Amino acid sequence: MSNISFLESVVQNFEKAADITGHPRGLLDQIRACNSVYRMKFPVKIKGEFRVIEAWRVQHSHHRTPTKGGIRYDNMVNEDEVMALASLMTYKCALVDVPFGGAKGGIKINPREYTEEQLERITRRYAAELVKKNMLGPGLDVPAPDYGTGAREMSWIVDTYMALHPDSVDGYGCVTGKPVTQHGINGRTEATGLGVFYGVKEACTYKEDMEALGLTPGVEGKKVIVQGFGNVGYYSAKFFQEGGAIIVGIGEYEGAIYNENGLDYEAVFNHRKSTGSILNFPGATNMEKTSDILEQPCDILIPAALENVITKDNAPRIKAKIIGEAANGPITSDADDILNGMGIMILPDMYLNAGGVTVSYFEWLKNLSHVRFGRMSKRFEQASNMNLIESFETLTGVKLKDEDKVKAARGADEIDLVYSGLEETMINSYNDIRKEWKSNNKVNNLRVAAFVVAINKIADDYMALGIFP
């Protein structure tokens, strides 16, 4: 029997939780449905020849607006995949209290086959197509980077939007993940990987949960494998290593490497940059079949590439105790059942990779308020803190060193606020999900719990709208 599709997996996962919520079937069907699916084909001239490009934008839910979700460039992009990703965005936003509906976009191209100039032409044309259909704008639909795209593509999109709306005061909020110099926010590039780390770290604080897995609390010393070494994988590896974990395996599309004594993420990155491949990294074992990396011994496995990489075929061979879904949909729904049966803890994508959309939300807020976070408060905070320290010194006669005083009095910069807002979000959301998991006897794992929490929040919105009295 063939493996199920990504969209079927998302629907099956939704249904595992839907009945537990007790909401009327019609309301659940509305929450599950994709509201708008726009498929477009447009011509782009490549080396003097017309080429027809196929692309999508799906707005899954308008229970809150604007809608929000990344844009993917990959030659495997298809309508079902974009619908699945848009659906996950709705549940993700609800879970982490980001007040948007879910959306997603995709262009069916392999970006490696195009020059920068050609990619710019394709991206600008895609943005113009969205503007024509009223599917791009700070109050309508706000894309962001995803697989195969980054800050560069977002800056082309914002520039195209502003050229078509030169009088728009809030227009820079039409897309997030922009370069910091182009109305972006400090911390967005690394946000998803950092969120992955904060999420796993929080899960690892619970002694009873770790003991049930045969692990000790904390991420320090835990062996980690990262599959996919792009934006999310690279930053996940960086923050795990800085947090005291040991990166033992890294996989990319050309192959994978493993060393049980540890791999330095930055050295691996530089090795790949200079040789063009992750393979042949000094001291590591090569794996030409890159999917083999998923089956190597480790405590924490972080799939950070694409969907459907763990299926019912390879699930029984997984050796990790914890799987942190950094990618969207890396585990098919039937593989999920197998892994749960094996006692593996799975931190679901809709929670674990929500760091990106959380910081995108901060960026959007910054764009609408037209001021950098911390600009109005940093000096004032610093002066107030210094006054407090000096009053303490006068009262106690204890004198602090000047450098300690400066450190203790420091006011928050944008990056400090972004990191702390992200950490707060990941901790709170994990505890919401865990509470549902531990307190509801119909909920037997974190994914079902995450869906229950998300569905309940979206249902509350619909009830408040009075559509389902």
Active site residues: 104
Per CB under 6 A, residues contacting ligand NAD are 70, 145-148, 192, 227-233, 251-253, 290, 304-306, 326-328, 353, 356
CB burial of 342-375 (b: ≥16 within 10 Å; e: otherwise) equals eebbbbbbbbbbbbbbbbbbbbbebbeeeeebbe
Of 86 and 210, nearer to ligand NAD (C-beta) is 86
Alpha-carbon distance 153 to 216, whole Å? 42
Closest by CA to 201, choosing from 449, 464, 35, 422, is: 422
Written as one letter, the residue type at 455 is: I
Taking the C-alpha atoms of residue 82 and residue 307, their distance in angstroms, rounded to an integer, is 12
CB of 307 to ligand NAD, least distance (A): 6
CA end-to-end span of the chain: 43
Asked if 343 contacts 213 with a C-beta cutoff of 8 angstroms, the reply is: yes
- Let me know: does 461 contact 445? Beta carbons within 8 Å: no
Single out the residue of 40, 16, 208, 239 nearest to residue 130, CA to CA.
40
CB-wise, 186 or 290, nearer to ligand NAD?
290
Number of residues that make up the chain: 469
| Residue 195 Cβ vs ligand NAD, minimum distance, rounded to whole Å | 8
Q: Which residues contact 169 (CB under 8 A, 6 or more apart)?
A: none
Nearest CA among 193, 186, 196, 260 for reference residue 229: 193
Output the smallest distance, CB 68 to ligand NAD, in A: 11
Least Cα distance to 306 among 236, 347, 251 occurs for: 251
Q: Which is nearer to ligand NAD, 199 or 374 (CB)?
A: 199
Residue whose structure tokens are 């709705």: 90
Q: Which is nearer to ligand NAD, 18 or 122 (CB)?
A: 122
Q: How far apart are CA 374 and CA 387, in angstroms?
A: 19
Residue 431 and residue 435: Cα distance in Å, rounded? Answer: 6
Report, in Å, the least distance between residue 59 CB and ligand NAD. Answer: 17
Positive/negative CA dihedral, 443, 444, 448, 454: positive
Least separation, in Å, of the C-beta of 221 and ligand NAD? 25
Question: Residue 134 Cβ, how far from ligand NAD at the closest point, in Å?
Answer: 25
Instruction: For ligand NAD, give the closer residue by CB, 418 or 443.
Output: 418
Closest by CA to 107, choosing from 120, 85, 122, is 122
β partners of residue 251: 227, 256
Neighbours of 2 (CB within 10 A): 5
DSSP H or E segment with residue 104: strand 101-107
CB of 329 to ligand NAD, least distance (A): 7
Closer by beta carbon to ligand NAD, 184 or else 443: 184
Between residues 58 and 443, which has the closer beta carbon with respect to ligand NAD? 58
Min separation Cβ 192 and ligand NAD, Å? 4
96 or 459: CB nearest ligand NAD: 96
